[in-house]
Each structure stands twice: as C-alpha cells, then as structure tokens.
A and B are shown apart, each in its own frame.
Chain A
Amino acid sequence: MSKIVILGAGISGHVAAAHLRRKLSKEHEVLVVSPNSNYQWIPSNIWVGIGRMKSEEILFPLPPLYKKKNIGYKQALVTTFHPEGDTESASPFVNIKYVNGEQKGNTEKVTYDYLINATGPKLAFDMTEGLNPGTNKAYSVCTYSHAEHAWHALDDLIQQMKQGKKAKILIGTGHAKSTCQGAAFEYILNVEQELRRHNVRDQAEVIWIANEYQLGDFGMDGVLLSYGDNIMKSSEMVEMVFEDRGIKWILGAGVNKIEDGIAHYETLDGEYKSETYDFAMLIPAFSGHGFKAFGKNNEDITEKLFKGFMLVDADYTAKPYEEWSVQDWPETYQNPSYKNIFAPGIAFAPPHAISKPRVRKNGTSISPAPPRTGMPSGITAKLVADNIIDTINGKKDLHHKGSLGNMGAACIASAGYGMTKGSGVSITTYPIVPDYNKYPDTQGRKLGKTFGEIGLAGHWLKLALHYAFIYKAKMKPFWWLIPE
C-alpha cells in the first residue's frame, strides 16, 4: 500500500488526485492538502471580472466530491518539508497547519510515500509597492474573489461614465517580471467590449501596459503563426486587434510603484514615467511560497528542494540567452534529490525565461517570466500521476514525459462575452518552448500547429471549454475522456 500526498487542489493538484484515484486500487491512499476548499476554473475569472458570470458558476466545493470519490482531504497549508523524516522516524513527511474548522491553527505531521507539490505560485503583490487588490484603484482577476471585487469597481466607474465622467483604464502587468499577460490581454478586450455595450466607450481611454518588449510576446518570445492564408507574428496580430479596438499600449514597462490612481514605471530606455488611471487591473509577479525543507537532523536543506519554486529534472546551469536550449526544460518534474517528490504545473522552477531577457542599464530586468497556463498544468500533473502509478506497480524508469518543448498548448483568449456579439482570439502554439534546432525557419515553432483565429467561434469555444472542464473536474461519468 502506498500513500500519495498532493499539496494543492488547483488544476494541477486536482488532475493528479483524480487520475491517481481512478487508476489506483483502494488499498492505496490519495490525500489532498489545500487551504482552499473550492475548486475554481481560473480561465473564467475574467468573465467574473466583467460581471458576466457569478463566482458560483466557476467554482464548486471539493470536500463532498473527495468524500464521494474516496480521496482524503485536509483543509490546511503546508509549512515545512521533511523528505528524510526526522530523528524519530525515517518516513518522509510534511508539516501542515489547518486553516478552517475545529482544527484551525492546529499543526500535523503528514507522512507520505510519494509527494506531489502542486502549490502553484504565490501572487506576489508585495513585490510592487502599493499594489494590493482593491486599494489605490488597482484590482486583480487572479482569483474569483479578486475578480468579483474588480467588477464592482468597474461597474461603479461605468455608472459614473454614464453620468458623463471621462475615465482612463489601465490593464496589464504590475511588475517588471510578471507573467500571465494572456489573462490581462483577455481582460482588456472584455472590458473594452463591455464599455461599448454600456455605450460609454467614447468616454474611456483604454491603455495596455506590459513588461513585454513587443505586443503578443505572452512570455513565450512571441509566436510566428498561420492566420488564414497568411503567416504573421503574434505582435502583428495583437497590434491589429488593439488598433481596431482603439486600445493604446505602453511596452517595456516595469511597474514599480502604485499610488492612488497613479502607476509608476521604469522603461528599458532608462526613463522613469507614470500613468494616471481611474481603474487598473494589473497582474502581479508570481513567486515561490518561500517553503523551507529540513533534513533528518533538522538541518536546513531548502536548496535541495527549492530555488524559489521546486527544483525538478531541468538544467539549471546559468547560461546566456544564446545558449538556452529546449533540452533545459524538465520532462518528468521529479526532484533530482528526492525521487518520490514531484512538482507539476506551476510549482516547478523553470530553468530560465522563454522570452529574451532585457535589462535596463541600472540592472533592472524588464521582461516576462514564462507563462504558466492550465493546459500544461493538467498534462504535467497527469504524467506525474502515471509515473507514480508505474513506480508503485514496479517499473523502475519514468516512461511518461512531457517537456514544454515537446507539447502543444491552446490559448483561447476571450475578446468579448456574448453568444452573438462575443469574440475570441484562438491561438495554438507547438511547442510552447521554441525549438530553434527543429524549426529554425519559423522561430522555433511548427506552423500549422501554431495558428491564430479571431471571431465569434473563439468565444463559443472558450465557453464550451468552461463547461467541459468543470464537468471533468467534478469527475462526472467518463470525465477522463476529456483531454487535459
């Protein structure tokens, strides 16, 4: 009998738990530890942020589902890692702290045979002075509660605009190293459409601010894609959409301070500038959770497990951009020091960025961190689950592999909500991390598998995925037939 402990119940943690439970017999224990008792379908947060969906439509409580499916659950957060056990026992364990219910505040030692760290990122608002959702007129859509808050503020502003107020709306990244430009891209297009729906578009100046060097970088160094019969860069596609929608842009901007209605930023040119706004939605930097790990004699071994995020089978050798290789990226998400620990999804430390790093003369790096989206999170979680199952069943090697350099991803970006008026920018990318050796003439990507489409069908597709993935997450009949 084996005990598999999964830290986190987001896309990655939940996918791993679901597949492990489905494929392992009942003698094996699957236990999820997560401070949030709700599962949320994060890609739909942007629709909560424009008031077109309620939070209840994108989340559901996990404890009843886990009870029904025989998956253990503790509403707690992990505090320390002890992969060698301690002086009392050689069994590896994590310390957890309950965050709710009668046990709130209590700590517990949870032992494991296999550990899946799917704790995702810490939303590091504190890395930008003054950036805190709901203060200084700046908001976030990173969680459903943040998105609800953003909608209330945006709705207030729209009502004021209906009374004649002119407004400036700033959307993008709130730190020089932020990622997740895609979510901000979706949000700015949805907000712009809602302004038109409320007949106040003429009174609003809508501005995109980002740490990208070019539009459409998305933390992936941009993509060269097929668009109809043409081949175009993602920068050209996004520029076309922004110009057509009257959205202005500020690029190469490292936002470093937020005051009430003012975003201060530094540029790659070395200038310090600021932009005023009446409503802002700025994506923060993502960071690791600052976990500590201890050895058998309570010595600090954090560097064997973490480099911000968790260390896995990547090549972390520091090297210049020109020497970066697709082979640097991990394949099995297994920690090299402790073979029974894995970190799929967003929890693993990337070997380096994907976008070309750009640094100011004073040393400030202003360029996007690698994107961390739902699809690779689900795929990597499933392959980790499959490798653990194989190991339990006696296989010695890890056969299931999934490098971001040999994996496709689809980004169905909503560009406006509505069954007849909605729109979407659908982009697929293969591979996510460009392979310049394999595809030297197409900027590291395979054309045909890397394509873009704009139109109403994109909105329908995103809506269909919303319902399909919530169905899958609820583990309803034949849920496993829906791919990650």
Chain B
Amino acid sequence: MTQRISKSKRFYMMNPIIQFFKFIWLSIKIMLVVAGGHGGTRKVNN
C-alpha cells in the first residue's frame, strides 16, 4: 500500500462539515452538466 493521498487531503475528503458544502456544490454542478441540455451533432459541426 502506497500513501498517495496526503493526510490533509484525506481530512478534507472525509470531514462531514466540509463535505456537506461539497455535497451542495456537487449537486448543483452535476445538475448543470446533466440538465444543461443535449442535442444532435450533425448540424452543429457539419
């Protein structure tokens, strides 16, 4: 096992308070990607 994630980064990843705000941020960001629309490609690039 090789430690590739530093202790401070691990604290950030697992701290419930920090992660609560990350959860809100992630939810909004993913919503923007997913609900940001979709469409064809042929008319856009041709």
Contacts and interface: CB of A to CB of B under 8 A. Distances in A.
A428 B23 contact: no
Contact of B26 (A326, A426, A483): A426
Contacts of A246: 1-2
A428 B30 contact: yes
Contacts, number: 107
Interface stretch (A87-95, A210-218, A402-410): A402-410
B4 A406 contact: no
B4 A483 contact: no
Contact of A244 (B3, B34, B45): B3
Given A430-B33, A451-B29, A456-B14, A244 B39 contact: no
Contacts of B3: 244
A213 B46 CA distance: 32
A483 B35 CA distance: 7
Contact of A243 (B4, B13, B26, B41): B4
Interface residues of A, number: 45
Interface string A448-463: 0101011111101100
A317 interface: no
A30 to B, nearest CB: 24
B12 to A, nearest CB: 7
B23 A408 contact: no
A430 to B, nearest CB: 6
A457 B19 contact: yes
Given A402-B39, A403-B39, A483 B34 contact: yes
Contacts of A456: 13-16, 19, 22
Contacts of A484: 34
A337 to B, nearest CB: 20
A482 to B, nearest CB: 10
Contacts of A329: 41
A245 B3 CA distance: 8
A423 interface: yes
A457 B26 contact: yes
Interface string B26-46: 110111011110111110111
A241 B13 CA distance: 13
A403 B5 CA distance: 37
A410 B27 CA distance: 11
B38 A408 contact: yes
Interface string A360-397: 00000000000000010001000100000000000000
A331 interface: yes
Contacts of A383: 38
Contacts of A327: 41-42, 45-46
B40 to A, nearest CB: 4
B30 A426 contact: yes
Contacts of B2: 243-244, 246
A146 interface: no
Contact of B40 (A331, A379, A409): A331
B41 A457 contact: no
B34 A375 contact: yes
23 contacts: A240-B4, A243-B2, A246-B1, A326-B41, A326-B45, A327-B41, A331-B41, A402-B40, A403-B39, A408-B34, A408-B36, A409-B34, A410-B30, A423-B13, A426-B26, A430-B36, A435-B41, A438-B45, A451-B29, A455-B12, A455-B14, A464-B27, A484-B34
Given A430-B36, A453-B26, A456-B13, 11 more contacts: A243-B4, A401-B40, A405-B41, A408-B33, A408-B34, A420-B14, A426-B30, A428-B33, A438-B45, A461-B26, A484-B34
Q: Which 7 A-B pairs have the closest CB atoms?
A: A246-B1, A455-B13, A401-B40, A407-B38, A457-B22, A457-B23, A456-B19
Interface of A: 240-241, 243-246, 326-327, 329, 331, 375, 379, 383, 401-403, 405-410, 412, 420-421, 423, 426, 428, 430, 435, 437-438, 449, 451, 453-458, 460-461, 464, 483-484
